[in-house]
Amino acid sequence: MRLRLQLPDAIGSPVYRFSTAVRLASDSINAHKLRSFLTLLGVIIGVASVVLVGAAIEGLGLYAEETTAKAFGTDSYLIAQIASVGRLTRKERAEKLRYNKQIRIDDLHYLQVTTGNEILYSPFRQRSGDVKRGNLTFEDAVIIGAGAQLSEIRDLSILEGRFFTELEEARRQPVAIIGQDLIAALFPDTSPLGKTIRIHGFDFTVIGTQEKLGSVEGRSQDNSVYIPTTVFTRLFGNERTMAIFGKPRPESGLSFEAALDVTRGALRTRFKTKPGKEDNFDTLTPDAIRSFVDNILGLISAVVIPVTCISLVVGGIVIMNIMLVSVTERTREIGVRKSLGAKRRDIMLQFLLEALFLSLLGGLLGLLLGAGLTALLSRVLEIPLKVTLPYVLLSITVSSAVGILSGWYPASRAADLDPVVALRAD
């Protein structure tokens, strides 16, 4: 009587084949823990770099937006002969100086008379200078001459004290509001309120301090001194041109865009700008500043992200080399599996899954490392760095693709081994 060995149907099912490949791949990784970890380092560093760079880009965007809102206001706009984001070329600047009209104090009075019932206006002039207190000196402070309405127009946050009033402005009172950099330099151990500082040879009484704003494009926003524009003119004289800040009055019901259009229409009438011609003055809005920052960050991400992804490619090359070594070491095992009925796709699936597991594990560890570094740097630098989903998906997708691609050739090579030759291998 002949005995016939019959294998259970479940052994040949796709689920069984897949589970077997998963088990064999995981056993191989566990059997060489140190080698597997060293193999993962390239992917870990690559994923962590992508996550960290993405968090930095997003965080810097949020930081710039918050700082712009604090320094410029949310619904305010600026009118000037030249007002632009970024540096102008010499030719662009010369063209603006030739075409645009100078903004003078009479133009401010004209706007206040014609549209002042709907819109708040404030003059804005600035220059650099030293600020002194006794033997202490703060060099290159930004001295700003403004109207009393500037505090409301730009939503200036006064930490202590107050902003100057219209009466103090009209009477040319020598009062000042200073930023945090000046407080740290001139008043390290005491409150500056009521104390005296010296600007351009004149004494000023500090009546307010501004909250910390941080930096924009590497320039501190906390080195400012606000004084009444009337006092600024007494110190530095009249200049040929000035800037004007504007904002719709809350009771007017005007939107930001409508208020800006009203101001532009009034100035075009005063400057006799012909219909169809561009404004012969510049306007600057918070949206323009944010758009400029977004463009810069977009260019940075377009350059930096592909560079950081190169480390993932390097990690894939390392995985491929290790997988080739693994195929050589396990030639006899492959021969045994093939002699017992394993098909080409079973061998290929085993080694593909092993490469994929390595890359996914490296991606997960890299993600955790990147998130940890992001939290640490955010606390140290005091910048709201933020891990975002798009960069997480990008890093995991790239690491998975690297794993599949780097494992394909070794898996194909293992699957093509002749079982007889493989069994003879030492």
User: pLDDT for 39-70, tens place per residue?
Assistant: 778 788 888 888 888 888 887 777 777 766 66
Is the model's pLDDT at 1 over the cut of 50?
no
Token duo for residue 311: 């480390």
Give the per-residue pLDDT at 415. 66
Q: Are 88 and 96 a contacting pair, CB within 8 Å?
A: yes
| 33-47, 128-142, 330-344: range with highest mean pLDDT | 128-142
Q: Are 327 and 355 a contacting pair, CB within 8 Å?
A: no
User: pLDDT for 275-326, tens place per residue?
Assistant: 889 999 998 888 777 777 777 777 777 777 777 777 777 777 777 777 777 7
Is the model's pLDDT at 90 over the cut of 90?
no
How many of the other CB atoms lie within 10 Å of CB of 212?
A: 17
CA distance 236 to 288: 31
For 172-194, the DSSP string reads T--EEEE-HHHHHHH-TTS--TT
Burial 81-120 (b: 16+ CB within 10 A, else e): bbbebeeeeeeeeeebeeebbebbeebbebbbebbbebbb
Q: Positive or negative, the Cα torsion across 236, 237, 242, 245?
A: positive
Token duo for residue 359: 């890359």
Higher pLDDT, 90 or 263: 263
How many of the other CB atoms lie within 10 Å of CB of 341?
A: 10
pLDDT band for 14, please (50, 70, 90 cuts).
low
* Per-domain boundaries in the chain: 13-66+292-423, 122-248
Which range has the worst mean pLDDT, 89-103, 334-348, 367-381? 334-348
CA distance 379 to 374: 9
User: pLDDT for 176-214, tens place per residue?
Assistant: 999 999 999 999 989 999 999 999 989 999 999 998 887
User: pLDDT for 145-185, tens place per residue?
Assistant: 999 999 999 888 899 999 999 999 999 999 999 999 999 99
Give the whole-number percent of the chain exceeding pLDDT 70.
Answer: 84
Helices then strands, counting H and E runs in the chain, come out as 14, 12
Give the per-residue pLDDT at 75. 83
User: For the CA atoms of the chain, what is the radius of gyration?
Assistant: 34
Is the model's pLDDT at 5 over the cut of 50?
no
Query: HSE (CB half, 13 Å, CA atoms) of 141?
Result: 30
Give the per-residue pLDDT at 348. 75
pTM listed for this prediction: 0.67
User: pLDDT for 355-414, tens place per residue?
Assistant: 778 778 888 888 888 888 888 888 887 777 878 888 788 777 877 777 777 777 776 776
Is the model's pLDDT at 4 over the cut of 50?
no
Amino acid at 175: V
Beta strands in 241-342 (DSSP E): 243-248, 282-284
Give the per-residue pLDDT at 20. 66
